[in-house]
Amino acid sequence: MEYRKLGKTDLELSAITYGAFAIGGNMWGGNEKRDSIDSVKASIDNGVTTLDTAPFYGFGLSEEMIGAAIQGYDRTKIQLLTKFGLVWDGSNQGKGEFFFDAEEAGKTIPVYKYSSKTSVIHEVENSLKRLRTDYIDLLQIHWPDSTTPISETMEALDLLLQQGKIRAAGVSNYSVDQVSEARKNLNIASNQVGYSMLNRGIEQDLVPYAKENDLGIIVYSPMERGLLTGKYFNTGKLKESDHRNGYFQQFDLAKVKTFLDTISPIATNKGVTLSQLVLRWTSLQPAITVVLAGARNAEQAIANAQAIDITLTVEELSFIDLALAKI
């Protein structure tokens, strides 16, 4: 495994980081709890020391499973990354900016973006309990909240840093302008954003900014929620409750399939899967600190960890880029 320094912090994160969105269950058609916990343990056992979660993932379930899975491991050798700012419980519901209606167990649950100082501190206390820890390595705002001044949210993060409840502060889904505004108040370590072979918008603005300002970039959805594994084109069937039924429609699926067919010989020749090839390509892109990869079971987790061992030549990277240009 490769370990990379996050921004100007002393955090060393695993280049492949465990992304815990799917194990929360909501929006993904569900998952077996035992398989989820096993996937976390398998990740740690194979060098993936960094785990990224959020209260919203499963409405607390993902954090709870991460907390259960790390019991018995040396906490100082594991980096817990979580978030705040998406609220749904009774105390905060209706405050902030309405985001969307989530479905859970047949019920509609309104979710709001809300990051007031009081709310942030309240959320962190709950996260610490669910994660069974007394500190969080990196705390990130999940989505920008238009109803709360960025300075107020940063004030909450600064207080948590002083209290030792978090080791570093970051943002997620922030524009470059929002990152700049946040950094006027607090030297945030990172920005977590969506990035993949099919979604390279950050290369135009965030990547140059990160290079110039020593900002870490944590990327999610490198596999475009499974589309770039190629499995969708083989089976094409997802559970009715799976949000990807709609998500995949934003892409030209015929061109995506042609692209995957074009680069698959590289994976075959190296004895790896398309998923592993895509993860490794993503980890090698400029200014990318770590890549989040989800896993529903131990087998997938081990495969994700092994992706970092793939060697890609300059010629192979150029071939992939040429193929990408045709999508």
Q: What is the pLDDT of residues 40-93, one digit of tens each?
A: 999 999 999 999 999 999 899 999 999 999 999 999 999 999 999 999 876 676
- What is the number of alpha carbons within 13 Å of residue 280 lying toward its C-beta? 23
57 assigned to active site: yes
Look at domain 3-246+277-310 and name its CATH class: alpha beta
Secondary structure letter of residue 184 according to DSSP: T
Residue 40 contacts residue 66 (beta carbons within 8 Å)? yes
- Could you give the CA distance from residue 194 to residue 207 in angstroms, rounded to a whole number? 12
Report the 10 Å Cβ neighbour count for 106.
Answer: 5
From the candidates 3, 18, 57, 174, give the one annotated as an active-site residue: 57
Amino acid 168 reads: A
pLDDT of residue 158: 98
10 Å CB burial of residue 107 (0-12, 13-18, 19+) is exposed
Secondary structure letter of residue 202 according to DSSP: G
Residue 14 contacts residue 49 (beta carbons within 8 Å)? yes
Across 194-223, b (16+ Cβ under 10 Å) vs e yields: ebbbbeeebeeebbebbeeeebbbbbbbbb
- Span 119-135, pLDDT tens digits: 999 999 999 999 999 99
% the chain with pLDDT above 70: 95
Residue 219 contacts residue 292 (beta carbons within 8 Å)? yes
Instruction: Summarize the confidence of residues 296-304 as an average pLDDT.
Output: 95
Instruction: Summarize the confidence of residues 215-223 as an average pLDDT.
Output: 97
Query: Where in the chain are the domains?
Result: 3-246+277-310
Compute the chain's Rg from CA coordinates. 19
- Could you give the CA distance from residue 290 to residue 23 in angstroms, rounded to a whole number? 20
Instruction: Summarize the confidence of residues 33-44 as an average pLDDT.
Output: 92
% the chain with pLDDT above 90: 80
